Structure 1
Amino acid sequence: MNNIKRINLKRICALLIIVLSVSIFNSCKQKAEPAAKAKSKFYYTCSMHPQIHEDHPGNCPICGMKLIKVELTGSGNSATEKITLTASQIQLAGITVDTVREENTGGEKLLTGTVATDESKAEEISARVAGRIQRLFVRSVGEKITIGQAVYSIYSEDLLSAEKEYLLARQQQKVLNNPDVDYEAMIKTVEHKLLLWGLNSAQIINLSSLSKTSATVTIYSKVNGTVSDIAIHEGDYVTEGMAILKTQGLANLWIEAQLYAGESGNYKENDMVNVSFPDLNGQVVKGKVEFVNPELSDESKVVLIRIAVPNTQGLIRPGMLAYISIGNGKQNAVAVPTSSILAGGKGNKVWIKNRDGSFSGRKVNTGAGNGGYVQVLSGISLGEIVVTSRAYLLESESIFKNGG
């Protein structure tokens, strides 16, 4: 009888242990599910140092640049994984795209050049009238200025006299109203003089409404550009025509390279070429041959060639190294820029921009290529949009999320 009681007691204890274990397991499972759901759907990284991953906004601990937010979408399947960035994030990261099309992947001649400013876009702001510079509003080289921005203020006896002359002519027109005097012509003459000496129409209207001259006059910019040189300081006396500052336009730049005399016949003005920049991860842009010097250098007997390239994003800077690729053999094929290809142990890969604006990785088989373009045998089609620069940022996010 006692043995039966002992057996029943053991069975009850075992049953209680099983029930308790199941209860603990379910409890843990329920707690784990919210944790999985709470997993962050974004992180912050640096466009220059993609190895940085933070869960909050801030600055890069390496270079100090502002971190960009990367949003994660998708089911976790690396073949269908998508990365979504806002337009501002794309611009901040420097990600560029282009349409897949047929390009020449045949042999090319590669020239080494240097980025220079387009001198045809250079401007100079000079003194329109003699006087003393009271204040400079633009103080540093590299600063961008726009039309209508204050550049400097000046005290000028000539300018002050012209203002008084203008106010006197308007006063005489109101008070005397002599029919034998053409006051309107007098006023227009002085107005024209004030405009030539640097005032704008708004300043002349203000002078007329206040009927009061000013000891100093502010001169405003009539050009857009980036300051390349400042020739004067506050307190300097200037004469008419003296340079105040110089500006250069960076929206279009020149690539200058040198050719041996025997090679110059292979290039002519308006030829289209591919230009890549090693400092921009091999980014490729289209350039146009704008100038081939008809004269040889006296010392080295080489010919200067100049290529014009657009710089709409402002990433290309004067002084950068550039490689100019000019085809000497035609072999058109479906191709992508060399900078688009990410080589790895599992094969080559590119990043595609989808119709919804997200980005997806795509494995591709590549063929022959040159310094500018690589033939794509499979994995991508004509008309698709491929990432041409900073694709490694998207790859970094993919590796971080999927573990490679």
Structure 2
Amino acid sequence: MKKSIIYRTVYSRVARLSLAVLLIAAFFVACKKKVQPKESSAKVVKAPTSKAYYTCSMHPQVHEDHPGNCPVCGMNLIKVEVSQMSMSMGGNRVLLTKTQMQLGGIKTDTVKEQNTGEEKSLTGTVTTNENKTDQLSARIAGRIQRLFVRTTGETIRIGQPIYTVYSEDLLEAEKEYLLAKEQAKKLNNPDVDYQQLIAGAENKLLLWGLTRVQIRELAKTGEASAMVTMLSTIGGTVADVMVHEGDYVSEGMPILKTQALNSLWVEAQLYASETGSYRDHDPVNVSFPDLGGQSIKGTIDFINPELSGFSKVDLIRVTIPNPQGLIRPGMQAYVSAGGGEKRSLAVPASAVIYGGKGDLVWVKNADGSFSARIIKTGPGNSSYVSVLSGLTAGEVVVTGGAYLLNSEASFGNSDGQMNMSGMDSKMDSRMKMDPRMKM
């Protein structure tokens, strides 16, 4: 009996000890386990990084990472904020912001058939159209007391006051007119035609520069004056003022000269050996480098029959319209005359960038981005270059600001595949042939 009690006591203690050991082991195992965070099904989207660079409004190919002056023209650089995601869309696709489009002067044109025949280009100068000039002259002798138009470039209109003149002769003519009017009222001599006297005196005042309104005012007041304001009988832009206040003028002496800027001449010189290539009324294209290469169609309306001086060069003249007044006398112009009609699929010459790996153009995509594309070009002229492969009719190519797109591609891609370092002697030779392609 006593032995049984001892066995039960020992067994109970062993059981309790085993349970304690198991609890301690379980505790240590639980402590060693790490809580693993539950993986989220949402993906972290990296916010588009923004970067800024500094560029020149006149030379958008300049990209600097700090403010300063343009290394080309010295103007202050302006800051442009660019979103990295919006600027580069992968590969050679570039999407410009509105600010970049404005700064770069991006222009586009549609690929289509054009005349790529041989052209001859002449350098000319814009001059005034002498057929549209006019001159205001003094109608009567006297001294200029006041001059209302003093500088060139002013625009005057018909009926505008030009100058005030002091003239004794005009004073006597006014008195003669007033006397004829008074005699017609008071005298009743049937042998005298008073109306004829009045008409003669009035015509005299008209010939000496007074207007009918001024003559009616003279009849109304009945007061003659040696000081009379002369009104303009012509309109246009003042090209020259030939008198000053206090000058004495005689009848017929020029006061000022005007020109009409809505029609201008472009005059170009050529050697005597080249005159056989041009004829009156030949169609030509006139472009202006100061206006971004803007082109106007015209015809040759004059070829000088004489060679000028010892230089032995001839002169041709083209009349061009200028309704908006953008073209100004003194501007440089290029006159291109076609040597033959040859139509083919073509792009404007300004759209092609010539490089060592091929000729490149920038094509506008449907989403508004731009992509560079290598094309094969054929013969052309200063206006258009024929396309043998790489483009189809109807596609839109960049004709202005293509170098900005190259700069943006270089700026957004570290490999620099689209930089301008690949330009070779082909580009230099084309720039020599066509000075309009110079930047």
Normalised by the shorter chain, which TM-score bucket?
0.5 to 0.7
Match of 1:307 among 306, 318, 330: 318
Matches of 1:307 and 1:143, distance apart in 2: 26
* Equivalent residue letter for 2:321: P
Match of 2:198 among 187, 206, 215: 187
Matches of 2:200 and 2:220, distance apart in 1: 18
Match of 2:332 among 298, 309, 321: 321
> What is the root-mean-square deviation in Å for CA atoms of aligned residues?
5.3
When residues 137 and 348 of structure 1 are mapped into structure 2, their CA distance, relative to the original with a 3 A threshold, is farther
Matches of 1:168 and 1:214, distance apart in 2: 14
When residues 392 and 98 of structure 1 are mapped into structure 2, their CA distance, relative to the original with a 3 A threshold, is closer
Q: Deviations over 1:135-192 (max 9, x none)?
A: 1111112222222222111111111211222222222222224333222222222222
When residues 226 and 98 of structure 1 are mapped into structure 2, their CA distance, relative to the original with a 3 A threshold, is farther
Q: Could you tell which deviates more after superposition, 365-374 or 223-232?
A: 365-374
Aligned counterparts, 1:140-159, within 5 A: 140-159=151-170
- Which position in structure 2 is the counterpart of 1:42? none
Match of 1:134 among 126, 145, 168: 145
- Which position in structure 2 is the counterpart of 1:243? 254
Matches of 1:122 and 1:259, distance apart in 2: 26
* Equivalent residue letter for 1:108: E
Match of 2:361 among 348, 356, 360: 348
Matches of 2:286 and 2:333, distance apart in 1: 7
Matches of 2:211 and 2:371, distance apart in 1: 57
**Structure 1 residue 134: Cα displacement:** 0.9
Matches of 1:145 and 1:323, distance apart in 2: 31
Matches of 2:241 and 2:253, distance apart in 1: 12
How much identity, in percent, do the aligned residues show? 56
* Equivalent residue letter for 2:333: A
Q: Deviations over 1:192-219 (max 9, x none)?
A: 2222211222222222222222332111
Matches of 2:161 and 2:122, distance apart in 1: 43
When residues 181 and 257 of structure 1 are mapped into structure 2, their CA distance, relative to the original with a 3 A threshold, is same
* Equivalent residue letter for 2:288: F
* Equivalent residue letter for 1:183: Y
Larger Cα Rg: Structure 1 or Structure 2?
2
Contact 1:108–1:325 (Cα < 8 Å) also in 2:
yes
Matches of 1:201 and 1:98, distance apart in 2: 56
- Which position in structure 2 is the counterpart of 1:107? 118
Matches of 1:194 and 1:95, distance apart in 2: 61
Number of residue equivalences? 351
Question: What secondary structure sits across from 1:299 in the alignment?
Answer: helix
Match of 1:163 among 167, 174, 181: 174
- Which position in structure 2 is the counterpart of 1:17? none
**Structure 1 residue 108: Cα displacement:** 0.7
Q: Deviations over 1:74-110 (max 9, x none)?
A: x999999998xxxxxx9xxx99999998642211111
Contact 2:173–2:201 (Cα < 8 Å) also in 1:
yes
- Which position in structure 1 is the counterpart of 2:224? 213
Contact 1:291–1:306 (Cα < 8 Å) also in 2:
yes
* Equivalent residue letter for 1:267: Y
Match of 1:225 among 219, 236, 246: 236
Asked if 1:255 is matched to 2:266, the reply is yes
When residues 177 and 48 of structure 1 are mapped into structure 2, their CA distance, relative to the original with a 3 A threshold, is farther
**Structure 1 residue 232: Cα displacement:** 0.9
When residues 127 and 274 of structure 1 are mapped into structure 2, their CA distance, relative to the original with a 3 A threshold, is same
Q: Deviations over 1:27-85 (max 9, x none)?
A: xxxxxxxxxxxxxxxxxxx997889xxxxxxxxxx99xxxxxxxxxxx999999998xx
* Equivalent residue letter for 1:145: I
Matches of 1:101 and 1:192, distance apart in 2: 65
Matches of 1:215 and 1:100, distance apart in 2: 70
Match of 1:295 among 303, 306, 312: 306
Contact 1:282–1:338 (Cα < 8 Å) also in 2:
no
Given the two structures, how large is their TM-score scaled by the length of structure 2?
0.61
- Which position in structure 2 is the counterpart of 1:117? 128
Given the two structures, how large is their TM-score scaled by the length of structure 1?
0.66
User: Where does structure 2 lack aligned partners over 5 or more consecutive residues?
Assistant: 1-36, 38-55, 62-73, 76-85, 414-439
**Structure 1 residue 338: Cα displacement:** 4.8
* Equivalent residue letter for 2:178: L
**Structure 1 residue 374: Cα displacement:** 4.5
User: Where does structure 1 lack aligned partners over 5 or more consecutive residues?
Assistant: 1-13, 15-45, 52-61, 64-74, 84-89, 352-358
When residues 50 and 144 of structure 1 are mapped into structure 2, their CA distance, relative to the original with a 3 A threshold, is farther
When residues 203 and 332 of structure 1 are mapped into structure 2, their CA distance, relative to the original with a 3 A threshold, is farther
Q: Deviations over 1:225-258 (max 9, x none)?
A: 2222111100101000111111122211111122
Contact 2:106–2:401 (Cα < 8 Å) also in 1:
no
Q: Could you tell which deviates more after superposition, 240-249 or 364-373?
A: 364-373
Contact 2:378–2:386 (Cα < 8 Å) also in 1:
yes
* Equivalent residue letter for 2:248: Y
- Which position in structure 1 is the counterpart of 2:27? none
Contact 1:284–1:337 (Cα < 8 Å) also in 2:
no
Matches of 1:230 and 1:106, distance apart in 2: 47
- Which position in structure 1 is the counterpart of 2:43? none
Matches of 1:47 and 1:199, distance apart in 2: 54
When residues 110 and 171 of structure 1 are mapped into structure 2, their CA distance, relative to the original with a 3 A threshold, is same
Matches of 1:360 and 1:249, distance apart in 2: 44
Matches of 2:248 and 2:201, distance apart in 1: 24
Contact 2:157–2:234 (Cα < 8 Å) also in 1:
yes
